[in-house]
Amino acid sequence: MSFRIRAGKSLGGISFSFGKSINNKLTAKEIKNKEFQNFLVKSASDLNESVFSFIKLYGYDPKQIQNDSIDLDELLIGDEAFEKFKALSLHAKEIIEKVIYSEDTGIKGKRDITDAIFELKSFVKSCPQKYHKPPQQFSYLKNTSSTIPAIPQQFRSPAEVKFEKTKRILLWIGIFIMPYIFAWFTLSKTFTKNNRIIAFGWMLFVIILMLSGKNYVLTANKKWLNLRTLFL
C-alpha cells in the first residue's frame, strides 16, 4: 500500500486529502496500513472541521469562503488568533507528513497526530466569537444587502454605545411630542415590532385627540355664533 497526501490552498492552505493504491491480496502489513489510512482520513476530516469552526467564529460562511477560494491569510491578515491557529494547523500538517514519510503506522505515529489535532481543536474551543471587519476586497462576505450590517453592541466602544442610547432617547422624546413625524423612524431595521406598535399607536392616539379637539372648537364656535344671533 502507498499513501499520497495533497495540500491545497483552499481555506488558507490548510486542507488534506488522501489516496491509496491497494493490491488484490492484502498482507498483514497492508491491512495495518489500510487501518492507518482510515485514521489519516479521519484526521483530515477533524482538521477541516476545525478550520470551518474557526471561520464561523468570525461570522463568515466557511462554504462560501471555500467556494470562492479565499485565502485566509488575506481575509484575516494581522489577526493574532488566526496566526496562532495557522501555526497549530501547519504544525498538525507537518506531523502528518512526517508520519507518512517515515511510514510510522504504529501507536507512536497515531499518538503524535492525535496530540497535534487535539491541541488545535482545544485552541478553537477556547476562542470566543468576535466581530471581524473584512478587508475591502472581501466586504461582500458580510453584506447580505446593499448596506453594511450594524456592528454588534458587544463589539462597540463605550462612546459608541452611549451615543446610540442618547439618539434613542431623543427619538422617543420626539415621538412623544410629535409622533406624526418621528414615529416613521421606527421603520428602521434597528427597531423591533413592539417599538413600532408603541410609536404608531401613540401617533394614532394623538391624531384622534387632535381631531376631537378640532371638532370641539368648531362646535363651540358654532354655538357662540348662534348665541350672538339671538341677542342681536
4 within 8 A of 18, measured Cβ to Cβ = yes
Q: How far is CA 156 from CA 12, 128, 132, 151, 225, in A?
A: 29, 16, 12, 7, 63
Looking up cell 384622534 gives: 208
Give the integer Cα–Cα distance in Å for 71 and 82. Answer: 12
Q: Dihedral, CA atoms, 124, 126, 132, 136, nearest 10 degrees?
A: -30
Provide the residue-wise pLDDT of the chain in tens; the chain has 232 residues: 233 333 334 444 444 444 444 455 667 777 777 888 888 888 888 888 888 889 888 888 888 888 888 888 888 888 889 999 989 988 888 888 888 888 777 888 888 888 999 999 999 999 888 888 888 888 888 754 434 444 455 445 677 677 788 888 998 898 888 888 888 888 887 788 888 899 899 988 888 888 876 665 456 555 545 544 544 4
Give the integer Cα–Cα distance in Å for 157 and 153. Answer: 8
